[in-house]
Amino acid sequence: MPRRALITGISGQDGSYLAELLLAEGVEVHGVLRSASDATSGRLDAVRDAVALHEGDLLKRGTLRRIVAETAPDEIYHLAAPTFVPASWDVVADSMHGIATVTAELIEAVREEVPAAHTVIATSREIFGPDAQSPQDEDTPCAPSSPYGVAKLAAHQLVGLFRERDGLHLSSAILFNHESPRRDPAFITRKVSIAVAAISLGRQDELVLGNTAAIRDWSAATDIVAALRLMSAAEQPGDYVLASGVGHTVAQLVETAFACVGIEPDGRLRVDESLVRAQERYPVIGDPRRAQERLGWHAQTSFEELVAEMVEADLAAFRRS
């Protein structure tokens, strides 16, 4: 019998890539959707007929328990959660519920229904806060500065608590920024790739951004989901920073994107001071050495290749439209 995996948030960027990876390895894949309409986003086009989809509102108590009991998975990947950090200030209670409470309910379901399952919970580098020294690793002190970060820290700590108390195979994936053509357009990488593609086709005149000196550690989403798979397959559970270990400025992101279409960014980029946020004290860069040493994980996609993939995908989308 093939192993059976359950993915929450399967219609998202990470969930869809993970489903493709698991299916290629012969795993039976089940996914959780908020509603049937989520399956039509396009991200699941390659696998829609090969996965079993379960509709359910994770914010409703009992939903996860029901789905876990019905599917009896060997592996669980909990990826469903709000992802846009600034929005957490506007919906604090919803952010706490959607991240911390839902994670607690999933762990309860694992403990009661499938205690032998290998479970990976997606957390975030936001647990460290903006002033954490760089690079940040699994032992970096946590001081989140947003409701999103506080909620992710609660989820992260629940993983460690129940792993120690009940001996469950629970792992926390501390995710740094990771991107792809499937990333939501609200994120800076897609804002840049979409604008550069539009400018190159004469559909837009300029790219408007905030602080171009901000530094981020960008990885490819496909590399990150490969690490999630290795975390699940590991004999022992653990917490892992998943990052490239290399920082790039937003300005470098812009330059690389424009280079993909053979255009100089001079005169095409405008900085809007109203969009400029305070600079972090230290660069936002992760240290992936634990994942490299214990899991044998190494990123396969360079920063330049990642940016080119996004720009090319957006060019193709514009041409189709």
Q: Which residues belong to the active site? A: 124, 126, 148
Q: Residue 163 corresponds to which tokens in the numbers above?
A: 């792993």
What is the three-state SS of the chain? CCCEEEEECCCCHHHHHHHHHHHHCCCEEEEEECCHHHHHCCCCCCCCCCCEEEECCCCCCCHHHHHHHHHCCCEEEECCCCCCHHHHHCCHHHHHHHHHHHHHHHHHHHHHHCCCCEEEEEEEHHHCCCCCCCCECCCCCCCCCCHHHHHHHHHHHHHHHHHHHHCCEEEEEEECCEECCCCCCCCHHHHHHHHHHHHHCCCCCCEEECCCCCEECCEEHHHHHHHHHHHHHCCCCCEEEECCCCCEEHHHHHHHHHHHCCCCCCCCEEECHHHCCCCCCCCCCECCHHHHHHHCCCCCCCHHHHHHHHHHHHHHHHHHC
- Spatial distance between the Cα atoms of 229 and 291, rounded to a whole number of angstroms: 12
The region that residue 192 occupies, defined by phi over 0 for left and psi between -120 and 50 for alpha, beta otherwise, is alpha
- Spatial distance between the Cα atoms of 119 and 106, rounded to a whole number of angstroms: 10
Rounded to the nearest 5 degrees, what angle is found at the Cα of 286, between the Cα atoms of 280 and 288? 175
- Spatial distance between the Cα atoms of 31 and 16, rounded to a whole number of angstroms: 9
- Torsions phi, psi for 189 (to 5 deg): -60, -45
